[in-house]
Chain A
Amino acid sequence: MKKFKTFYNLFSLQRRFVAVIIIIIVLFFALLSRIFYLQILNGKNLQVLAAEQWLRDLPLSSKRGEIFDSSGVSLATTVTTYDVYVRARNVTEPVALANAINELLNVDYDTAYTKVINTAFSEILVKMQVEEEKALKLTEYDGIYLSQNVKRVYPYSSSLTQVLGYCTIDNIGQAGLESYYDKYLKGIDGKSLTQTNARGEEIENSLGYYIPSVAGANIYTTLDIQMQNILEQELMNAYVEHKAMGVSGIILDAQSGGIKAMSCIPNFDLNNVPRDDISALQQMTKNSTVVDVYEPGSTFKLITLAAALNEGLTNIEETFFCPGHITVDGETIKCWKTTGHGRLTLLDAFKNSCNCVFVNLALRLGVDKMYEYLDYFGIGEKTGVDIASESSGIVMNKESVRTVDLARIGFGHAVAVTQLQMASTYAKITTGYDTTPHLLDYMEIDGEKIYENAITKTKINLKDETIATINMMLANNVNSEGNFTFIAGYDVGGKTGTAQKYDENGQIASGKYISSFIGTYPATNPQYVIIICVNEPSNGVYYGGVVAKPIGQNVLNKIFTLKAFEPNDYTQLENQPNIIMPYLVGKSLAEACAELKKLGLNVMFDGEGEYVIAQLPEENTLLYLGEIVYLITN
C-alpha cells in the first residue's frame, strides 16, 4: 500500500487528473441535458414533425349529395372515377406499363414512360378522373395506385344551367345550388393514413388509420323537370326566333313560393363547362332572373291597380279619357298609343295598357300610399330566395320622389325589379298571401330528413274583392268575351309589358326593349305564376304581347297537355279560333282599322305613317274574337 501511495504522490498530477475527470463528467451531463431537452422538453414538436414523414395520407373524397326535382328525378349526381398514380420505385415492367397507360388512358407513350421511370418522386399523377374499368385494369401492373374520386354528372346537361350551377374538378360548388348548399352537399372528406418507410413504401403489418368519409346531404328541390324542359325548349325557340340577347323565364308555385322551373338562355352544358372564356362563363352562369334588374313597364300596372282598387280610389266600371298624353308637373307623358285610347273603362284600360289611366291612379294614390303598397308587395326588397347574389331592385328614395316620378312609377317606369320579384309580387297580389320564393324543399341523408324548408305564408293586406277583381281583370286581359280563349278551356290570366332599356349613361337606348309576359293559372285563384322575359328581341317585333306572350302561351299549353291538368271549362275545349286574319299590308291605316273592327279584332300599331307596311299575325291565321292584331306603319 505504501508503494502505491508513493507512486501516486510521485505522479503528483492528481489535481490535473481530477480536473480531467470533472471535465469528462460535466461533458457527459451537458450531453444528457441536451438529450433531456430534445426528448422531454421539445419532444412533442419533434414527434409531430417525425410523424409527418412516417405517415402518408390519401384523401378519401366524400360522396357529394345528389340534387333532385320535386318528384325525385335526379338533376345532379356523382359517378366514381379514379385518379391514377404511379410509384416508379415499385414498377417492375416499365415498358409494359407505359404501353398500358398509353392504350388505356390515352396518354402518349413518352410522357407515360418518363413518369413510370422517374424515381425522384415517391408518387406521380398519371391521369385524373379515369373510369373505374380502365383504372382497375391498370392495377394489374406493379407500381400503380388509385385514388378514388367522384365526378359530378348532370343528366339534363344544359337544363337548369344557372339554377344547379356546377362544381370545380375538386367537387367544390361554384355556382347555383351547388354553391349555395355546398356545405351540405359536400359532406366530410375522410382519409386513409398508412405507415411508410423513408422510400414511401408501405410497411407490412403496420397499423393504418382509416377515417371514413361522410356522404353529403341529398337536396330535394321544388323544381319540376317536366315543366322545366318545356320552359327551356320554348325559351330556346324564342331565343332563336327573336334573335334576342337573352331569354329567361320562371314558373312559380304561387301558393307555396316553390320555384317549379327557372331558365336563362343562353346556357351551357353543365357536364362540359366552358372554362376557357371566364367572362363569357360568368355571364352565362349568372341567374339573370334574380341578379339582373330591369324597368318592368306595363306588367307593373298591376301594382298600381291593386293599390288603387284596395284603397277604393277607383272601380272596375269607372270611365277614363285618354287623349294620348298627360301633363304632370309641366312634363308631358305619352301613352303608348299616341292618338289616345279615348273614352274607356278601367277594365279596358288594363287590357289595353293605357298609360294615362295608370298615371291618374298613381296620382290619386299619392307617394305615401304608393310606397306603402310597394313595400307590401316587396318591390325594392330581396325576395329571400336561396340563390346567390340576389338583387333587391331599385326604388327611388321616397323623399326625392316628385309627382312626375310617381306618375311614371304608376305605369312601371322609374323603377327597376328582378324577374323573380315580379313573379313573386304577382303571386302575392293574385293569391293574397306572401310566401318566400325558394328552390329547396328538404335535405336528407340516407332517407332521413335533416332539414325541411318551412313555408311561411302570411296574409297580405288586400281585400278579397280586390283580389277577385284583379284576377278577373288579368283573365280578361288575355281572353276575349269572357271565354277561355287564350288557352282553350283553361282559366289563364296575364299581363304583357314592353320596357325600354337604358344605356350605361342612363339614357333610353333606342330600339332596345325587354318584352315580358306574366301569366297566372288558374286566374281565379292562381296555383302558378309564369314570367317570360325576352331581352332585346331584334327581329323586328318587340311588343310584349307579340314576343313574350306567345311564349307563355306555348309553355302553359304544353304543360297543361303533358301534366293532363283538368280544364276549367270542358265546353270551351273545342272552342277554336275562327276569324281569319286578312292581308292588310299596303292599305291605309284607317282602312285597315275599320276592317279589323268589323271582324271584331282589336288593333295596336307602331309608327306614325298612314300606310300599313307589316302585320302580325300573318294573313289567314285563325284568331279569336277580340284578339289584338299588330300593325306597323311607314
Chain B
Amino acid sequence: MSMKKTLNKDSLIIIICTLALVIFGCIMVYSASKYSALVNYSDEFFYLKKQIIGVAIGLIGLIVCTFINNRIYKKFYWIFFIVGIVFLVLVFVPGLSRTSYGATRWIGIGSFTIQPSEIAKFCLVFFLAGYLSDGDKLGEVKHVLLTLSLGGIYCLLIMLEPNMSITMCVAFTLIFMLFIGGMRLKVFGLMIVPAIALVVVLIMIEPYRLSRIIAFIDPWQNPLEEGYQLIQSLYAIGSGGLWGVGLFNSRQAELFLPFSESDFIFSIIAEELGFVGCLIVVLVFITLIISIFRVGMRANNKFSAFLCFGIGAIISIQVILNIAVVSGSIPPTGLPLPFISAGSTSLFVFMSAIGVVLNIAKQDKKLL
C-alpha cells in the first residue's frame, strides 16, 4: 500500500501542519527557554530536551491512534467519561498531586508529571461524540440538561484545581458540541442567562479573578503584581514589529517574561519573528483546523464526524484563548498553545488526537 493510497489531501495537510508546528515548537521552546534554562538548570537545552521527548511520545501516540479504528471508541464512550473523571479526581489524591503557583493541576509519579485536565478534555470530547451520535438526543430538553450536567461535572472538577482556562476551554467545547450536535436554538438561548450568572458567581467566590480582570483592563495600574505578566507579554509582542528581532534574539526571554516557553510562547514568537511570523503561525493553525473539520464533514458516520469536530473545536478554542491572553485581549489565564508550548502531556494528547483524525480520514477513504 503506497502512501498515495492511504493519504488523501486533507490528511497530508494535517500531517504537514502538525509536524511543522511541533518542530517549530521545539525551536521556539529552545529560544524562549535557553536563557532561563541556563540560569536555573545550567543547561540551555534543558527544556528543548524535554520537548523532544514529548514530541517523540506524541509521535508514538499519533501513529498508534492512526491505526486504531475510531469507531471502537464509540462502544466505550461511557468508559471515556469515567476515565476522565478518575484522572480529574486523582489530582486531589494526596501523594500524587503536585501543587504549584497555588493550583493543584498536576499528578506525578517520581519526576514524571502529567496534567490530567489536558487528558480529561479529550475524554469529554470522545464521550460527547458517542453520546450525541446515539440518535437525535438534543431534540429533547432532558437530554440537553443531562449532557450539560455531565459536562458540568468536568467543569466543576477542573475548576476545583483551580484551572479557569481549561474550564473555559471545556465549557466552550461543550457548547460547541451541543450547537453542532443540533441542539434547538431556543434552548441554546435559554442557556446563556444561567451561564452569565455562573461567571458572576465564580468571580465572587474567587476574588483573585477580579484582580486578574482589573489587571487586564489596565495592567500598568499594578505593574509589579497582577499586571506584570501581561505587561511583559505586551513588551515582547510590541518589540517584534513587522519582521521581529530575529530568531534566538528575544530580550524578554531573559527572565523578564515568566512562562515564556509554555503559556506565553506566542509572545516570544511575536518578538522574534514579528507580525509576519504571527501571521504565518495563525494561518497554519487555521489550515489545520479547517482540514480537521473537512475530515469531519466527510466522515461516514455521525460519531466520527462529532469526534473530528470536537478535536477541531478544542484546538481552535485553545489557540484563540492562548493568543487572546498573551495579547491582552482577555484576562490572563494559563493555557498552553497546542503543539508549540513546552509540555509533554499537552503534546501527547494533541498529537494523539491528530492520529484519531487521521484514522477517520483513512476510514473515509477506504469507503470511497
Contact = CB atoms under 8 A, between A and B. Distances in A.
A32 B300 contact: no
A31 B320 contact: yes
Contacts of B182: 13, 16
Given A28-B285, A32-B278, A35-B327, A203 B254 contact: yes
Interface stretch (B44-52, B71-79, B108-116, B233-241): B233-241
27 contacts: A11-B297, A11-B302, A14-B297, A16-B182, A17-B293, A21-B293, A24-B289, A28-B285, A28-B286, A30-B329, A31-B282, A34-B324, A34-B328, A35-B237, A35-B270, A35-B323, A38-B270, A39-B237, A39-B241, A43-B240, A47-B235, A50-B239, A50-B251, A197-B35, A197-B39, A197-B254, A198-B256
Contacts of B239: 43, 46-47, 50
B279 interface: yes
A570 interface: no
Contacts of B293: 17, 21
Please provide the 6 A-B residue pairs with the shortest distance between their CB atoms, ordered closest to farther: A46-B238, A198-B255, A50-B235, A197-B254, A198-B256, A197-B255
A46 B256 contact: no
A42 interface: yes
Interface in B240-263: 240-242, 251-252, 254-256
Given A38-B327, A53-B235, 18 more contacts: A4-B368, A11-B297, A16-B179, A21-B290, A24-B320, A31-B324, A31-B329, A32-B278, A35-B278, A36-B275, A39-B278, A42-B238, A43-B240, A43-B241, A49-B235, A50-B236, A50-B251, A54-B256
Interface in B202-255: 234-242, 251-252, 254-255
Interface of B: 35, 39, 176, 179-180, 182, 234-242, 251-252, 254-256, 270, 274-275, 278-279, 282, 285-286, 289-290, 293, 297-302, 305, 316, 319-320, 323-324, 327-329, 367-368
Given A20-B179, A34-B327, A40-B275, A25 B238 contact: no
Contact of B180 (A20, A47, A50, A197): A20
Contact of A54 (B238, B251, B299): B251
Contacts of A195: 251
B282 A17 contact: no
B19 to A, nearest CB: 21
Contact of A16 (B180, B328, B367): B180
A17 B237 contact: no
Given A7-B300, A28-B320, A43-B239, A198 B254 contact: yes
Chain B binding surface SS class: helix
Contacts of B300: 3-4, 7
Nearest to B276: A39
Interface string A284-328: 000000000000000000000000000000000000000000000
Contacts of A36: 275
A35 B234 CA distance: 9
Contact of B255 (A4, A25, A32, A199): A199
B298 A4 contact: yes
Interface string A73-96: 000000000000000000000000
Contacts of B238: 38-39, 42-43, 45-47, 49-50
Contacts of A35: 237, 270, 275, 278, 323, 327
A27 B285 CA distance: 13
Most buried by B among A11, A14, A36: A11
A203 B301 CA distance: 58
A46 B286 CA distance: 28
B243 to A, nearest CB: 10
A40 B270 CA distance: 11
B122 to A, nearest CB: 19
Contacts of B278: 32, 35, 39
Nearest to A47: B239
Max chain B C-beta neighbours (<10 A), residue from A20, A38, A47: A38
Interface in A352-390: none
Nearest to A1: B368
Contacts of A46: 234-235, 237-239
Interface string A438-466: 00000000000000000000000000000
Contacts of B241: 39-40, 43, 47
B282 A32 contact: yes
A32 B256 CA distance: 24
A34 B240 CA distance: 14
Most A CB atoms within 10 A — which of B239, B298, B305, B320? B239
A84 B304 CA distance: 71
A27 B270 contact: no
